[in-house]
């Protein structure tokens, strides 16, 4: 099993944020999840992320999350690195899931605790307690959408904690990205947490991205990332512009519900979201189909419809 140093060395490139397919009654569809994982592995993705915000972890019990970790790692093995989101508001649950993720060979992804008026000092103390629990290290997830936004000065403090191997940065403010890239680059692995606007952070020197919409558009987003990785900025820009109308729909109707709908239209295993989220209406699904048809008509996209 990998240790902290191997974990950090493998932590780079494009990671598919694998959505969690639920049946209409809210049960896990583990067979569908396995098929989705195998698809992105076959296409050449560098890693996957399981049970994050778009994986709907807040709608799962701690036992369900542990089961999800075990099922996924049984499928993936050591074929590619796996981020396993162990975030939570209860530090006891975070500790248990963080330790489990490391034992399974995944990389725990930890956010600051979701409690009101927590201080920066308390946040640093929290990460100091979590980092030693995982034999593979931990990934700090700076996720403005689900809690506290960590400023660069606090991220620098976290970078000094033994066992912190990287940061998944959700705050894409250009000033914050510039500071993080130039002050922490080379010390930690830096990941852009959004595929909606990843060209800027990658050009600043980030090590990789995590992408939810690659569940629906795996070929196109992979081609965009690989072009940028190969220093072909023009092609990357053109491909990224190609799916802007889809991104506009995602911003308007929300992820992961739009991603799952698009996956279903392509014959993938998107299935359903779990409450409190609600599946898209037929009217919106029709909009998504129209956009997928537009992309499928352009040979650059690689998109096909069933």
What is the structure's pLDDT at 2? 66
Residues of the chain with pLDDT under 70: 1-2
Cα gap 130→197, rounded to integer Å: 30
Which residues make Cβ contacts (< 8 Å) with residue 305, sequence separation at least 6? 265, 266, 267, 292, 293, 296
* Cα 78 to Cα 69: distance, rounded to the nearest angstrom: 14
Q: What is the pLDDT of residue 258?
A: 98
Exposed e or buried b for every residue in 156-177, given b needs 16+ CB within 10 A? bbbbebebbbbbbbbbbeeebb
Q: Write out the DSSP string of 151-177.
A: PHHHHHHHHTSTTEEEEEE----HHHH
Task: Render pLDDT for 138-194 as a digit per residue (tens, 0 to 9).
Answer: 999 998 877 788 999 999 999 999 999 999 999 999 999 999 999 999 999 999 999
Q: How far apart are the first and last CA of the chain?
A: 39
Report d(CA 223, CA 302) in Å as an integer: 9
Q: Which residue in 239, 251, 252, 249 sits closest to 289, CA to CA?
A: 249
pLDDT confidence of residue 235? 97
Beta bridge partners of 110: 140
Q: What is the pLDDT of residue 143?
A: 87
| Phi–psi pair at 61, nearest 5 degrees | -75, 165
């Amino acid at each position: 099993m990998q240790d902290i140093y191997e974990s950090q060395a493998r932590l780079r490139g494009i990671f598919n944020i694998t959505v969690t397919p639920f049946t209409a009654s809210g049960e896990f569809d583990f067979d569908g999840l396995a098929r989705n994982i195998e698809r992105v592995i076959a296409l050449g993705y560098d890693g996957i992320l399981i049970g994050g915000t778009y994986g709907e972890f807040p709608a799962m019990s701690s036992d369900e999350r542990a089961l999800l970790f075990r099922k996924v790692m049984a499928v993936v093995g050591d074929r590619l690195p796996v981020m396993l989101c162990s975030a939570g508001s209860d530090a006891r649950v975070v500790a248990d899931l963080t330790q489990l993720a490391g034992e399974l060979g995944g990389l725990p992804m930890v956010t600051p605790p979701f409690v009101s008026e927590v201080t920066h000092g308390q946040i640093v103390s929290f990460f100091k307690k979590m980092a030693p629990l995982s034999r593979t290290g931990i990934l700090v997830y700076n996720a403005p959408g689900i809690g506290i936004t960590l400023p660069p000065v606090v991220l620098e403090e976290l970078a000094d904690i033994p066992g912190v191997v990287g940061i998944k940065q959700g705050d894409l403010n250009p000033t914050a990205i510039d500071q993080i890239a130039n002050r922490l680059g080379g010390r930690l692995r830096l990941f852009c947490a959004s595929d909606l606007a990843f060209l800027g952070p990658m050009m600043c020197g980030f090590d990789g991205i995590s992408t939810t919409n690659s569940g629906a558009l795996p070929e196109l987003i992979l081609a965009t990332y690989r072009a940028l990785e190969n220093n072909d900025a023009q092609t990357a820009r053109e491909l990224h512009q190609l799916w802007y109308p889809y991104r506009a729909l995602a911003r308007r109707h929300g992820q992961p519900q739009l991603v799952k709908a698009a996956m279903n239209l392509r014959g993938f295993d998107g299935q359903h979201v779990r409450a409190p989220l609600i599946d898209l209406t037929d009217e919106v699904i029709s909009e998504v189909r129209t956009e997928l048809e537009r992309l499928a008509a352009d040979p650059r996209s690689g998109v096909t419809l069933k």
